[in-house]
Structure 1
Amino acid sequence: MIDSKGNNLIFLLSTPRSGSSLATVMLQNHSKIFATQEMWFLMSLYDLHLAPQRPYGGKEIVKQFFNGVLPNDTYNRACRAFALQAYNELLQSSAGAEMLIDKSPRYYYILEFLDALFPQSKRIWLIRNPLAVIASYKKVNKHVGDRFQLKEDLLNPKFNIKMADITIGLLRYSNYFAKENPHSHRLYYEKMVMNPQEELHKLCNFLGITYEDGLEKYGDFMDTPKTDLYFSMGVGDPFVGQHKEPHLDSLNIWREVLDKQEVEMYCRVLGSKLFHDLGYSKQLEEAERWTGVRFDANPDEELLQLRTRQLAEASGCQWTENYQLSTAGGLTDDKLDLPAISTDHEAVHPQVLQLQITLRALEKRLEKSHNEQKQLRSKLDHTKRKIERVKSIIPFGNHLSQWASAYLNK
């Protein structure tokens, strides 16, 4: 079972079209692992505070509740409790499974949230040659009749989530996994398809389980209940079910699918340093010879800033610049509006909680209305003084005061 810190929970992270469906369909054959094709549901929990238009109305009321009444710590506890209930009941549906894989490529925009909720979870970073990724996007989207026009959309100032995936999404993962960490593992797509058994041995060792023979031959498991469930969702790579085990057909797909202009545009946006950092120097050199262009080391910062700003406006996310994987159990207020989640389940004194809620509501009202600033500032200061008085008479007030003081003085 998955505990409150995220033990036995595995996040398979990558940009879309990196081969995560192939990795998951092999791993889910293990008797100790449960996986569906894709979940994405942690993003929906994070998005509750956006309060979109609903048929029953009350958009501003719901928004005020999540952003101006409910304390962040309470909100995070609730999200974690919901996620744990969902994850563990899914595990119970698979007899014998002890670990669960949440494979959700676009989790790149909630990495801080992920770390705050489940700091001890395992994170697998699936890496693929960026040129092969956009080639797969182009091939698959043509097959399913969806739009992927790199030459029209990559530099277009209009927001496009797929262009965000292959730019800021990739760079966020690169920063996140920049340092070695016992809770992270790098899995290269190219190695996975060339030597699947060897790479699965490494993955099982990372996860603390014993490799089971034949995991890579996922076609042999097609008639099992777990595999039926996996393919029942109908999402992910539409081609993975056409084979019975990893193959080399897509290893260098970019050479056949992309044209010179697409390669040049994309390499200019990413910059050569990222290719070198990811281990694709040879592929970059080949692209330079083919296009006749020597690419600068640095990415197109102006475009990346635009995409980051657009995604922030669309999603409400607040990113820590160059954020890296954290197993500390949460984030501090000055980095993100998601405080650390306490794991000791100690009760918060009702009067302190009530005053904290009042304080949060007043702060949000101050942000919204300049006309009420003087009056609300007086209430805010009065509330702070009351909190200090209440803390002084609560037996365990010293322990609680550390969080409250940090929040009030930020």
Structure 2
Amino acid sequence: MKTGFIFSLPRSGSTYAQRVLSLAPGVSTTAEPWLLPALFGIRVGEAPVAAFAYDHVRAALEELLAELPEGEAVWRRAIAGFAHEIYQAAAEPGAELFIDKTPRNHVFAREIMEAFPDSPCLFLWRNPLAVVASINSTWGGGRWKAYFYKYDLFDGLFALIDAWQAARGRSNVMAMRYEDLVAEPEIHWPRVFEHFGQQFDVSFLRNIPDIKGEMGDKTGVARYKDSSAASLDSWPSSFGSPVRQWWAKRYLKKIGEERLAIMGYSQQVLIEKLHRGAGPVTLSDLFFMPAGHIYHFVEPALWRPRFAKKNASVRVARR
């Protein structure tokens, strides 16, 4: 059994793609395993607080791998072998392909492709402002929630683009825009299915099944049972206030024209569409936008250790 990957930011249509692909007889999948970010994340990023001294785990692991003649290659093979064992157990009997579409795989896309060099991979792009609009609508109830997903919107997106650039031209890697998939599904979906080694049937675009699991997109599953382009042009309305438009322009500038072009978008076109939104400044925006900076400064350094100590005390008390 092979493993396939869908790399994308959250709210970029990965659940939609997963649901359609799951209709192929040879494909098996689960909502979101969240396995590979944990495995690759052992050695990178901010070390979490843990009772077993996470910093010691990292130091010892780095020392061990440094002593091995092919330490990095061994590490990648070990992760791939471990993950494959889990995927195979989770797959339906007789499955040819297991698809993992965990959003936070985006930060480790390059490492994942090195560990799974023959796996078919789909990079699924979506207009980044539409992603922000969907985050605010789905998880913020219309209020500003993008600050909570800074890791995805910045680190994740940049890592995803870098990984695509590094892998571009490989036969097992392809890119697709979410907008194209839903606007012209009968043209683009056959190419995606062929890339994953599966046969496409136009009936797959009707009555798309749910993917059971706690993780994943609950909103899109409930709202869309077939391929729909209904949401493509609604994102500017989420940036009606001058404050949100200011943030959006800064975000586009941070991404840059070159990165946007790699994804298939024009910075100028997005800015022009952005100006179509119109609305008043809300008090929640004035609070949550500055509060986002405070959140990222205080939360990792203060609250996580406190909760970790509290939970550790609770576990000890229960013994």
TM-score range for the pair, normalised by the shorter chain length: 0.7 to 0.9
Equivalent of 1:181 in 161, 170, 192:
170
CA distances 1:30-72 after superposition (whole Å, capped 9, x unpaired) = 11111112122111112334775444x4555534432223543
Is residue 2:213 matched to residue 1:216? no
SS at 1:214's partner residue? helix
Q: Following TM superposition, by how much is the alpha carbon of 1:180 offset from its aligned partner in structure 2, in angstroms?
A: 2.5
CA distance in 1, matches of 2:273, 2:189: 34
Is residue 2:9 matched to residue 1:15? yes
Per the alignment, residue 64 of structure 2 pairs with 69
Per the alignment, residue 90 of structure 2 pairs with 90
Cα 1:249/1:54, change in 2 over 3 Å:
same
Is residue 2:175 matched to residue 1:194? no
Identify which range, 119-128 or 136-145, moves more after superposition.
136-145
Cα 1:214/1:54, change in 2 over 3 Å:
same
Is residue 2:129 matched to residue 1:148? no
Is residue 2:23 matched to residue 1:29? yes
Per the alignment, residue 224 of structure 1 pairs with none
Per the alignment, residue 119 of structure 1 pairs with 117
Cα 1:272/1:74, change in 2 over 3 Å:
closer
List aligned pairs for 1:284-363, cutoff 5 A: 284-285=268-269, 287-288=271-272, 291=275
CA distance in 2, matches of 1:264, 1:61: 42
List aligned pairs for 1:374-389, cutoff 5 A: none
CA distances 1:211-238 after superposition (whole Å, capped 9, x unpaired) = 134212244x4xxxxx4xx223342252
The residue type paired with residue 156 of structure 2 is G
The residue type paired with residue 60 of structure 2 is F
The residue type paired with residue 66 of structure 1 is L
Per the alignment, residue 284 of structure 2 pairs with none
Is residue 2:186 matched to residue 1:205? no
CA distances 1:243-289 after superposition (whole Å, capped 9, x unpaired) = 211212210222211133233222222223333333223x7335247
List aligned pairs for 1:50-69, cutoff 5 A: 52-55=48-51, 57=52, 59=54, 61-69=56-64
Is residue 2:216 matched to residue 1:235? yes
Q: Following TM superposition, by how much is the alpha carbon of 1:198 offset from its aligned partner in structure 2, in angstroms?
A: 2.6
Is residue 2:44 matched to residue 1:46? no
CA distances 1:86-111 after superposition (whole Å, capped 9, x unpaired) = 111122xx133210111022223223
SS at 1:125's partner residue? strand
Cα 1:175/1:113, change in 2 over 3 Å:
closer
Cα 1:169/1:96, change in 2 over 3 Å:
same
Is residue 2:158 matched to residue 1:167? no
Cα 1:251/1:233, change in 2 over 3 Å:
same
CA distance in 2, matches of 1:290, 1:143: 20
Unaligned runs of 5+ in 1: 2-7, 154-159, 222-226, 293-309, 315-410
The residue type paired with residue 45 of structure 1 is L
How many residues are paired up? 266
Identify which range, 57-66 or 208-217, moves more after superposition.
57-66
Cα 1:58/1:285, change in 2 over 3 Å:
closer
Cα 1:177/1:59, change in 2 over 3 Å:
closer
CA RMSD of aligned residues (A): 2.9
The 8 Å contact of residues 120 and 196 in structure 2, kept in 1 or not, is answered as yes
The residue type paired with residue 25 of structure 2 is S
Look at both structures and tell me which one has the larger radius of gyration over its CA atoms: 1
The 8 Å contact of residues 3 and 119 in structure 2, kept in 1 or not, is answered as yes
TM-score by length of 2: 0.73
List aligned pairs for 1:235-254, cutoff 5 A: 235-254=216-235
Unaligned runs of 5+ in 2: 277-295, 301-319
TM-score by length of 1: 0.58
The 8 Å contact of residues 264 and 291 in structure 1, kept in 2 or not, is answered as no
Identify which range, 162-171 or 60-69, moves more after superposition.
60-69
Q: Following TM superposition, by how much is the alpha carbon of 1:81 offset from its aligned partner in structure 2, in angstroms?
A: 1.9
